[in-house]
């Protein structure tokens, strides 16, 4: 499989980009990697890059976007931060990726048993991590069940995963609210902004 070119990127649509990722995740789950010569892709992309998607994911070592979607060099922009939330720098990176570099799809990718989300569920305090976790706290507060405070912590993995999904949804809301550029591109059908959850037990990505 060759690296994407300006020509192949130009034929890409938001739905086609999503289909590429879905197909790649199926290959990943079945341990069937696309046939790629990565050194050849190094050469192919030496004069430029033409990715088709931008993926915001957690820094979790089990959730490498290139691996779980079976993509090669030059295929995707990968933005990683614990808890997969956005700030000005990440929004600026996304605007560059879509408006200037031509990607057609933004995926906010959460995952099960997320450590950053667990920290937010437990209201953990530790150095600079405290401020990071505060970015995820709105998702904790937005999940109403269970009401029993003793069940609203990292030991309740169902609660953690529900908060993770809500965090993805709130992150998408922030993208729409804080980036007029990306919102306008989506309204014009130039890009699609979607959420997804990666299951660390199965390797499957559930898009929503």
Residues, the chain, total?
208
Q: At what angle do helices 88-95 and 180-187 cross, to 10 degrees?
A: 40
Q: Is 114 annotated as a binding residue?
A: yes
Strands (E), the chain: 53-57, 76-80, 105-111, 192-198, 205-207
Q: Is 58 annotated as a binding residue?
A: yes
The rounded distance, in Å, linking the Cα atoms of 100 and 84 is: 22
The residues with which 126 forms a beta bridge, in sequence order, are none
Sheet holding 192-198, edge to edge: 76-80, 53-57, 105-111, 192-198, 205-207
Q: Is 60 annotated as a binding residue?
A: yes
Binding-site positions read 58, 60, 111, 114
Binding-site positions for Zn(2+) read 58, 60, 111, 114
């Amino acid at each position: 499989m060759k690296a994407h070119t300006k020509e192949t990127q130009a034929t890409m649509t938001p739905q086609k980009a999503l289909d590429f990722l879905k197909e790649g995740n199926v290959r990943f789950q079945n341990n069937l990697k696309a046939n790629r010569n990565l050194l050849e892709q190094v050469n192919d992309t030496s004069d430029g890059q033409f990715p088709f998607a931008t993926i915001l994911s957690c820094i979790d070592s089990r959730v490498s976007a290139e691996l779980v979607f079976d993509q090669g060099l030059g295929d995707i922009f990968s933005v990683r931060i614990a808890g997969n939330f956005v700030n000005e720098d990440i929004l600026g990176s996304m605007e560059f990726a879509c408006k200037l570099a031509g990607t057609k799809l933004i995926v906010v990718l959460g995952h099960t048993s997320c450590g950053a989300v667990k920290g937010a569920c437990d209201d953990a305090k530790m150095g600079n991590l405290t401020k990071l976790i505060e970015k995820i706290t709105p998702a904790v507060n937005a999940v109403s069940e269970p009401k029993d405070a003793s069940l609203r912590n990292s030991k309740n993995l169902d609660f953690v995963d529900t908060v993770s999904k809500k965090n993805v949804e709130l992150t998408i809301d922030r993208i729409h609210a804080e980036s007029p550029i990306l919102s306008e591109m989506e309204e014009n059908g130039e890009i699609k902004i979607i959420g997804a959850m990666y299951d660390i037990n199965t390797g499957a990505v559930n898009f929503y």
